[in-house]
Structure 1
Amino acid sequence: MSLRGKKILVTGADGFIGSHLVEELVRQGYDVCAFVNYNSFNSWGWLDHSPHEITKELNVFAGDVRDPYGVKKAMTGYDVVLHLASLIAIPYSYHSPDTYVDTNIKGTLNVLQAARELNIEKVVHTSTSEVYGTAKFVPITEEHPLQGQSPYSASKIGADQLALSFYNSFNLPVSIIRPFNTYGPRQSARAVIPTIITQIASGEKAIKLGSIHPTRDFNYVKDTVNGFISVAKSEKSIGEVINIGSNYEISIGETANLIAELMSVNIEILTEDQRLRPEKSEVERLWADNTKAKELLGWYPTYGERDGFKRGLKETIDWFTTSSNLKNYKTRMYNI
């Protein structure tokens, strides 16, 4: 479907991926409303850092996806909903799993119910590679079994299944995008790449991490954003789950050493117990098969393979090491 002339609502627009997505949609000339989390500071999250030429074109709705009435009000008058609002920190899901059920499952239900009642033309629901758990085979296709190895991943499995149920039960035009580990400017320091960069940037040589042997398929945020837009445009994506990944696997330890090389420092990696996941909860291996995205959407990673990963890391390092950006992070504090 063409997005020209469509009114697009993005939930989770104040977050890492959501803010980049909103900015790109505005740059491409689309009519966008940013659904941000209501707070008493009137903060729009990362959108507060967006250029004026972006924000002046935005409609902004402050609310909470856990509130069905506010969600329906926000969605009224819009044609396409890109649903990114979610609690995503895995360590915090061990601490407060109830909040993940409320936000990730009930929040998604609120979006789906409103979309059904309002006859929304397209809903893109955001999944995560964490729903696969430790790979039983690689590269991981969309047919891989789902494994709830953390309360976070369990909540996202539940949300994904709700989205598919509304497609199957009510013919709601839902697509599920399943990004693998997205990284880039603005990401929370609880994620491993910003954790490494910000520790080095603050002068640390002994870098504190959790497990370094697990592997990940890191996806640069620009590629993830292009994946969202491609899914939104594609009629073939309706009723489908689609991986968005680089199809390149690398360990956490090798990633840390690669970042150190790009930042021209020598580091020592220390394992800190509080950063370790419970043994059965650790996802040991993630590696995306992105064939379906290429075939259905014509999407492919422009930051793929090792050279693309290094380019994405360089852009990420450049952003985090800018003093005005680095000051937003508490580099010596572990953030769950």
Structure 2
Amino acid sequence: MLLKTALVTGANGFAASVLCRKLIERNYRVRGLVRKGADLRLLEGADVELFYGNLGGVEPLTDACTDVDVVFHLAAAYRKENVPPKTFWDVNVNGTRKVLDAAIQNGVQRFVHCSTIGVQGDIKHPPATEDHPFDPGDAYQRSKLEGELLARETFRKTGLAGAVVRPVAIYGPGDTRLLKLFRHINRGTFRMIGSGNTLYHMVHVEDLAQGFILAAEHPNAVGEVFTIGGETWTTLNELAEMIGRILGKPVSRQHIPASLVWAAAILCEAVCKPLNLPPPLYRRRVAFFLKHRAFDISKAKRLLGYAPKIPLEEGLRQTAEWYRKQGWL
């Protein structure tokens, strides 16, 4: 059996590094596109051929796709303080165009583009299917939407056999986005903003890797968009209680009115922006507690045979154990 070669862009990232290892387990040769000077710790011990390139630069990426059978395009510019909107566009739109062009020029057989459920914004009537209207809320989400639409248009016009994956909130060992929440609950300093009844949908990084691979290998995936998530969603109250059980710590029943925190965030942004300082509190962080993010994953189940395997509480337990090993809890 001939080995297939996969290119994973942003291979040193959290989800991409796990995908690389899963592909190796499936006997793929794996090439990883990373920036020069990138932190490669998540790829330690993995048999990944590194190719250095910059999605936001001017140089083409044609050579990265030489002799490649399938491309997994996960690299992106993510939301951080003081990232100019142009950076999101350069990487998430123009960078995507460069990867698509390189794939077409090299005759790549399959292409999986990683988008985000953020392109659909706040879900007013959850759960949302893939056909829910677009409603990006910031420059990052707008750039990801444009990148997704570009990929879909390219698949349609060129015949490149591609699929789009929209992950829900990704978590698991190796990720730090939940660390603050774990720490506050561990220290007894966590207070819920608002009612806590907001819906939140998560996916373990290993289940997401399964979704990416199915999108690359299954014939039903071609030309489709898939939301990849865990088996179900939870409320933020339930999520906090779950983490509290795992850590053996009680979770405060005290809730802070959302309107007060929202007003404080507006004030922080107004004071800090002229000084070019990152605000200690900003509206996007508050919105985490207020906007529903719950999604219907039945399309991926039906067409791809996608089946998330890791229950949320077990995945959170794995995450807590990893945080402890790092000395963070």
Structure 2: give runs of 5+ residues left out of the alignment.
266-279
Query: Relative to 1, partners in 2 of residues 1:279 and 1:217: Cα closer, same or farther, differing over 3 Å?
Result: closer
Report SS of the residue matched to 1:141.
Answer: coil
Match of 1:37 among 21, 35, 38: 35
Kindly indicate whether residue 239 of structure 2 is the aligned counterpart of residue 255 of structure 1. yes
* Contact 1:198–1:320 (8 Å) recurs in 2: no
Query: Relative to 1, partners in 2 of residues 1:213 and 1:68: Cα closer, same or farther, differing over 3 Å?
Result: farther
The normalised TM-score by structure 1 is 0.83
* Contact 2:55–2:90 (8 Å) recurs in 1: no
Amino acid at match of 1:206: T
Kindly indicate whether residue 212 of structure 2 is the aligned counterpart of residue 228 of structure 1. yes
Q: CA deviation at 1:249?
A: 2.2
Match of 1:103 among 72, 91, 109: 91
Equivalents in 2 of 1:8, 1:319: separation in Å? Answer: 28
Q: CA deviation at 1:217?
A: 0.7
Q: CA deviation at 1:84?
A: 0.3
Kindly indicate whether residue 67 of structure 2 is the aligned counterpart of residue 77 of structure 1. yes
Q: Which residue of 1 aligns with 2:154?
A: 166
Q: Which residue of 2 aligns with 1:194?
A: 179
Query: Relative to 1, partners in 2 of residues 1:278 and 1:36: Cα closer, same or farther, differing over 3 Å?
Result: closer
Equivalents in 2 of 1:198, 1:44: separation in Å? Answer: 26
Q: Bigger CA drift: 174-183 or 246-255?
A: 246-255
- CA root-mean-square deviation: 2.6
* Contact 1:219–1:246 (8 Å) recurs in 2: yes
The normalised TM-score by structure 2 is 0.84
Q: Which residue of 1 aligns with 2:297?
A: 290
Q: Deviations for 1:204-255, whole angstroms, at most 9, x for unmatched residues?
A: 2213777655321111111101111111111211111011112422233431
* Contact 1:198–1:326 (8 Å) recurs in 2: no
Equivalents in 1 of 2:183, 2:77: separation in Å? Answer: 22
Report SS of the residue matched to 2:314.
Answer: helix
Q: Which residue of 1 aligns with 2:169?
A: 181
Q: Which residue of 2 aligns with 1:240?
A: 224
Q: Deviations for 1:132-155, whole angstroms, at most 9, x for unmatched residues?
A: 111143221111101111211111
* Contact 2:60–2:98 (8 Å) recurs in 1: no
Query: Relative to 1, partners in 2 of residues 1:234 and 1:216: Cα closer, same or farther, differing over 3 Å?
Result: same
Equivalents in 2 of 1:179, 1:264: separation in Å? Answer: 30
Match of 1:25 among 20, 23, 26: 23
* Contact 1:4–1:30 (8 Å) recurs in 2: no
Equivalents in 2 of 1:159, 1:215: separation in Å? Answer: 27
Q: Which residue of 1 aligns with 2:269?
A: none
Match of 2:12 among 11, 14, 21: 14
* Contact 2:64–2:102 (8 Å) recurs in 1: no
Q: Which residue of 1 aligns with 2:307?
A: 300
* Contact 1:35–1:63 (8 Å) recurs in 2: yes
Q: CA deviation at 1:165?
A: 0.8
Query: Relative to 1, partners in 2 of residues 1:210 and 1:170: Cα closer, same or farther, differing over 3 Å?
Result: farther
* Contact 1:139–1:247 (8 Å) recurs in 2: no
Query: Relative to 1, partners in 2 of residues 1:209 and 1:23: Cα closer, same or farther, differing over 3 Å?
Result: farther
Kindly indicate whether residue 120 of structure 2 is the aligned counterpart of residue 132 of structure 1. yes
Amino acid at match of 2:283: R
Query: Relative to 1, partners in 2 of residues 1:195 and 1:4: Cα closer, same or farther, differing over 3 Å?
Result: farther
Q: CA deviation at 1:292?
A: 0.9
Match of 2:109 among 117, 121, 126: 121
Report SS of the residue matched to 1:69.
Answer: coil
Q: CA deviation at 1:88?
A: 2.6
Q: Which residue of 2 aligns with 1:207?
A: 190
* Contact 1:247–1:289 (8 Å) recurs in 2: no
Compare CA radii of gyration and give the structure with the larger one. 2
Amino acid at match of 2:189: A
Query: Relative to 1, partners in 2 of residues 1:248 and 1:67: Cα closer, same or farther, differing over 3 Å?
Result: same
* Contact 1:149–1:281 (8 Å) recurs in 2: no
Q: CA deviation at 1:281?
A: 6.6
Q: Deviations for 1:117-136, whole angstroms, at most 9, x for unmatched residues?
A: 22111110001111111114
- The number of residue pairs the alignment matches comes to 305
Report SS of the residue matched to 2:16.
Answer: helix
Match of 1:277 among 283, 298, 310: 283
Amino acid at match of 2:179: P
